[in-house]
Structure 1
Amino acid sequence: MIEMASREIYANGFDEDVQADDQTNGCPECDGRVETNTVETVCEACGLVLAEHAIDHGGEPVYEEETERTGAPLTTSRHDRGLSTTIGRKRDGRGNTLSAKKRRQLGRLCREQKRGRFRSKQERNLSHGLGEVQRVASVLDIDDTLQEQACQLFRSAHSEGLLHGRSIEAVAAASVYAACRCNGRSLQLADVVAAARVGENRVTNAYATLNEELGLPAQPMQPHAYLPRFASNLDVPDAVRRRARTLAERAEETQIVHGASPPGFAAACLYQAAQRADYRLTQAAVADIAGVAANTVRGHRDTLRNELE
């Protein structure tokens, strides 16, 4: 019968540090005591290094205050993802004003840096387009999260070659509109066109191209999504807002909004709610805030009366 070993398997581990009391041999030079730490194995007597670069089992140190050790985070809003350097011309690192000679020197450096920022015309177009996306988003007061998504959409369109034959400004405006549509934010196309530097047809065609080629998860907008902005712009009471939302939700459940303009139907719900609450609100004011004609508001108002009331 063979007697099996009773020692635990991997009792010490294959990569554990060997401490001084486990050493079977001393220093090969002076037979001194050998000590092993997390960095190296060294003789205490003569200082001979026997091994180094041992595995450090300790975790990364945690500091009470967060410190930036890798620079600024990457961003999609710049063509180089924010890795480029910015040269200042007025003050040094300590905040002191620079001399005229130093400012002229830094001005020349800035000029040469701008010339070398782009390696090709494609990068220049990408930088121009991302700047246009940020400009349109700033005019429309869009938050940073949607702005980053719009920049990423423009990057995707640029990499897929969708800018050929199309205006960069149109694709940038369409990217902002698409980012809002994909996140369910009620943003009218007329507002995007007003902030852009191109016509409505170009923005519409660019959005249709993005939606078809990139497969955007854009869902149809519902009338209730426009009510908060319309009610806020018209400064209507809370009771009218709640009644209008109830009308819009009931209309969406009964599917009478199919084929109708969501902003126009939302304006009709708001107007009908104001009429029921005896709040003075004209059709012209509601139609103007929704960007539709007064006849559209009256037509949807009649639909609400006939179907829901």
Structure 2
Amino acid sequence: MLNCLFYIKCITLLLLLVLSVCWSMASSSRFDTNTICCSAHPDAPLIEDYRAGDQICSECGLVVGDRVIDVGSEWRTFSNEKAGADPSRVGGPENPLLNGSDLSTMIGPGRGDASFDGFGVSKYQNRRTMSSSDRALINAFREITSMADRINLPKTIVDRANNLFKQVHDGKNLKGRANDAIASACLYIACRQEGVPRTFKEICAVSKISKKEIGRCFKLILKALETSVDLITTGDFMSRFCSNLGLPNMVQRAATHIARKAVELDIVPGRSPISVAAAAIYMASQASEDKRSQKEIGDIAGVADVTIRQSYKLMYPHAAKLFPEDFKFATPIDQLPQM
């Protein structure tokens, strides 16, 4: 008798366990959005009405789900529009370089009579919603972007220059220096650190600051941030100068070889890499069919004709050792111009 009662209790507990598992599965499937279907037409596809937030059976029109979240655009967009801003999500991207991640309010210009007081002064101004520090940063970032666009620099260099300016601005290391001069120096350092250096004259051409002031800020920034830049070599400018001059690859390779050999043999001591590169391009072009004058090379390299002439005069006596062995001479070495 006791054994029968024991078996009955075990069977009862087992049935209760099975019923609880089935109930939990049924309750979980009821809240699963993937299993929502019409009770009368379980195989019929559902239509989502985002305006009302309902899911409707396509056969009988029964509402089987509600509170559907609209993941589409807030505004209407048209494929033929060329606008750069995407209105599908309002608000601009966060800028980590600004305080508050650039979530401050930007007030647009007033256009109605209610936007101005009796004296004609705008009632709503951005100065009340943006700190002076952020205004200085935004102006500097705008200046860096403008300079980079004029000399076709990529966004990676612009971002690095912006980070450098942010570090200098937060550290307050260059008080008394103009922000434009600091921005120009930061752009110059960013070019050097990214491996695409530009000369001081190229930065001055797109900036409003003198070469001397940019050079001073350059040294102060390196000292304040305790950073460094790689030394400039003749190969850093060779491909860009030859491309701008329209010279073929053969002349570019010869000019690169000539400049490297001249530095290795210590033929041009004390000369800047830019002047050595310009003189090597002049020598290689004069020995080929694509000849370029000193003035043409000087305009591209940003050096004077006299500078090219002085470096070329040092390199000319050793021309036989400077040219690569496989170079095809259109003009022999002994017929190259002598200075």
Using the size of structure 2 for normalisation, the TM-score is 0.61
User: 2:189 & 2:124 partners in 1: Cα distance?
Assistant: 37
> For residue 112 of structure 1, what is the aligned residue in structure 2?
124
Match of 1:285 in 2: 296
**Shift of residue 182, structure 1, vs aligned partner:** 1.1
Q: How does 1:131-142 map to 2 (within 5 A)?
A: 131-142=142-153
Q: CA deviation at 1:133?
A: 1.6
How far has the Cα of 1:207 moved from its partner? 0.8
The answer to whether the Cα contact below 8 Å between 2:241 and 2:300 also exists between their aligned partners in 1 is yes
Tell me the CA shift for residue 169 of structure 1. 0.5
**Which residues in structure 2 correspond to 1:129-168 (within 5 Å)?**
129-168=140-179
Cα deviation, 1:141-200, whole Å, max 9, x if unaligned, reads 211110000000000000110231101110011110110011121311111112112222
The 5 A counterparts of 1:66-145 are: 73-75=93-95, 81-84=101-104, 112=124, 114-119=126-131, 121-145=132-156
2:114 and 2:97 map into 1 onto residues whose CA distance is: 29
Change (3 A) 1:117 1:177: farther
The alpha-carbon distance between structure 1 residues 208 and 171, as it changes in their structure 2 partners (threshold 3 A), is same
* Paired residue secondary structure (1:203): helix
Pairing 1:251-262 to 2, within 5 Å after superposition: 251-254=262-265, 256=267, 259-262=270-273
Q: Does the residue aligned with 1:145 lie in a helix, a strand or coil?
A: helix
1:219 shift after superposition: 0.7
Indicate the SS of the match to 1:149: helix
Whether contact under 8 Å (1:88, 1:106) holds in the other structure is: no
For residue 211 of structure 1, report the CA deviation from its aligned partner. 1.2
The one-character-per-residue Cα deviations of 1:32-76 (angstroms, maximum 9, x if unpaired) are 9666859x9xxxxxxxxxxxxxxxxxxxxxxxxxxx999765445
Which structure dedicates a bigger proportion of its chain to helix? 2
How many angstroms apart in 1 are the aligned matches of 2:300 and 2:24?
84
The residue aligned with 1:228 is 239
Match 2:307 to one of 291, 296, 308: 296
Query: Mind listing any 5+ residue stretches in structure 1 that lack a counterpart?
Result: 1-19, 27-31, 41-67, 91-99
Which of 159, 174, 189 is the aligned partner of 2:200? Answer: 189
1: distance between equivalents of 2:239 and 2:198? 12
Is the contact between residue 79 and residue 130 of structure 1 (CA under 8 Å) also seen in structure 2?
no
Equivalent residue letter for 2:214: V
**Deviation, structure 1 residue 283:** 1.4
**Quick one: distance in 2 between partners of 1:185 and 1:222?**
11
Secondary structure at the counterpart of residue 124 of structure 2: helix
Per-residue deviation, residues 187-228 of structure 1 (Å, max 9, x unmatched): 111111121122222211111111111123311111121112
Residue number in structure 2 paired with 1:180: 191
Mapped partners of 1:256, 1:173: distance in 2: 34
Residue 34 of structure 2 is matched in structure 1 by none
TM-score of the pair, normalised by structure 1? 0.66
**Residue number among 226, 232, 250 corresponding to 1:215 in the alignment:** 226
Shift of 1:79: 6.2
Residue correspondences, number = 246
Measure the CA separation in 1 of the matches of 2:230 and 2:285.
Answer: 29
Distance 1:270 1:179 in 2: 27
CA distance in 2: counterparts of 1:161 and 1:128, whole angstroms: 17
**Does the residue aligned with 1:112 lie in a helix, a strand or coil?**
coil
- Percent of aligned positions with the same letter in both sequences? 26
Q: Which has the larger radius of gyration?
A: 2
Taking a change above 3 Å as real, the CA distance of residues 24 and 202 of structure 1, as seen in their structure-2 partners, is same
**Aligned residues of 2:192 and 2:229 also touching (Cα < 8 A):** yes
| 1:246 aligned to which of 234, 253, 257 | 257
Contact persistence 2:285–2:291 (CA under 8 A):
yes
Shift of 1:140: 2.1
